[in-house]
Structure 1
Amino acid sequence: MPPILTVRELTTYLRELLEGDEQLADLWVEGEISNVTRSSAGHIYFTLKEAEAQVACILFRGYASRLDALPTDGEAVLVHGRVSFYEAGGKLQLYVDTIRSLGVGPLYLRFQELKAALEAEGLFAPERKRPLPRFPRCIGVVTSPTGAVIRDILNILKRRYPPARVILSPTLVQGKEAAPLIVAALERLWRFPVDLIIVARGGGSLEDLWAFNEEIVARSIRASPVPVISGVGHETDFTIADFAADVRAPTPSAAAEIAVPDATELRKMLAERRRRLRQVLERRLVTARQALETQRRHLQRLSPLNLVAQRRQRVDEQIDRATVRLRYRLEIARERLEGLSGRLAALDPQATLRRGYAIVHRCVDGVVVVSPAQVARGDRLDVRVRDGSFEAGVL
């Protein structure tokens, strides 16, 4: 019976086996870099690959500081180092100490050539980009039916905009067969009343994302009857699908957030607009009431009844003024009359007679005698006194 090993014993055996091989302790390896990341400690992790194989690599901070330029995705390189087994992670790794650039790798070169050709054709022209619907009722999603990507997309869509209906068109998102399957998944959605489509995949190396760099996928995205959002890889990953899509999202989760509005923010916005509308209506109502009151007063001033009342008031005022003036004039006339009456009374002969005087007329001609020279001896006189008259003769 073969010996039974613990996991630790197995990983230690593999590490010692690899480190004991002189060829693996000092070797040069040629390949194309992808998936470059840098830890907070300054170590650089990347994948060295070719068409059918890849190996995980690590470049410690001390060696990285000696490089003129840090490695980049798509770069063809010649690296020197040693092979060992990383027991804690359970994987074989190439511990790199030197990197020599050989230029652009063949895969990345294919990417650049296809991008340039499609761009020259006008496939990525800004004027061909379509605006996203503001309130989509139905959203199509092209991605793997399993994994974190579809879960994140569904959760975000449900949280942000519950009314949206989601139709999943499942597909492979990696491998040689993925590109035609992605195209088929897109075309399936065209038969449904979707308002927009999300094409999504999680992060990975250039090879992992290569299906989204195929020309047939780019042309299918551009041929879509509805807008397409590309959410492939991480923020630093760019694919041909990103350029062909109407909108590029840095991640699948970001694609879901771009696709729909936030219902919570919409409710807040509606509440704010309702408040502003109420204020505007209230101000307009106050203004309308003030204008109505002004018109009412104006019409009231122009009203026939009001004009009659005003004219009547003016007539009454004129009558009052005329009455006052008439009374004043009557009073003045009365006073003048009384003055004249007094003067007439003073000139009244009867008044003189009542004071003991007499009026003497010559009987022959009725002339009033005012002087002794007017009479002669023997003349007959008519003497009028207060209560009668009598005749007298001149002796």
Structure 2
Amino acid sequence: MGSSRILTVTQVNTYIKSIIEGDRKLNRIMLRGEISNFKSQFSSGHFYFTLKDSESSIRAVMFKKYASTVRFTPENGMSVVVSGDISVYEKEGQYQVYCTDMMPDGIGSLALAFEQLKQRLSEEGLFNPEHKKAIPQIPKRIAVITSKTGAAIQDILSVLSRRYPVAEVILCPVTVQGADAPASIVNALGAVNRLNDIDVIILARGGGSYEDLFCFNDEVVARAIYDSKVPVISAIGHETDFTIADFVADLRAPTPSAASELAVPELTELQNRLHQLGRQLNVSYAEQFSKASTRMNLIADNFYAMSPLKKLKGHYEQLQNDTVRLNSVMINKFAVKQNQWLYYTDMLDALSPLKVLQRGYALAYKNNRVIKSTGEIHTGDQVTVRIADGEFDAKVL
């Protein structure tokens, strides 16, 4: 080995890492594989797993910054497509893919991601009927969010112009397929909600494969529909296609054409209905007028009987009768009280000391007190004697 340079393990791993990271073919790659050995570190928020195909495997890591953006729960056996860079974990000399994005791949994985998101949003209450906004019966301004080149917009405009041509239609073109579609749809929903006097939104896309429609199963799209202040009618794919957007929307239509029919009334039917209501109003008016006339005649016939003058006359007569009756009662009560007074006066008069004196009796006083017993006087006492017509002094002998 003599003069050969001796390297450390760290130097070798660092060198290999620099070679791999310098290879553009290994930067920003998209890698398809099946997940195995999946571990989610709850404390750190990182994902650690192995990505494999039928012949080989590679370790993978997804740090919290990117793992938090994954809209489904990765599981072992799920086929996914990840985006990221190949690099080396120097400590163990292990090359691996550092993922920045992850999407389910294949019908099975997409269906699993769909069910996971559907269950989670349902538990949060995003599908509950009480959150559904009513679709206005006669909208004036309708926003249509769809591709500007697809068949859906033509079907929608055709039905709207036939059924209700007086409505104003505002087209908001968006991407309806691929990785950029969710953000495009969310931005359009936000823009429509910032406009004035939009009555209803039609979110539509024509038919396509399960994968083509999967952007309408994105969580950010679902939450944007839920947060919309304007009612949303979803019309994604064909009648048998169901997306998360359909569950969150205020009303689901099986097709874009059906969405137009649900959004607006038939103008001719509306006009016929107005004519019918006009006729009903005329009939009702005539009936009410007839009833009012009959009632007025009845009131006129009974006016005198119900007139204030007649009522006043009746009250006056009643007052006179009450006055006579009151006077009679008062006279009777006065006579009774007068007789009682005379009776008690006679009794008091009969018991008066003056009446006794008039019959020849006298009252003797000593020191201004009536003498009631011989024991109260003695020989030689001076007393005063009162008789009916006066009084005089006397001396006891």
What TM-score, normalized to structure 1?
0.48
Q: Of the two, which has the highest radius of gyration?
A: 1
Output the TM-score relative to the length of structure 2: 0.48
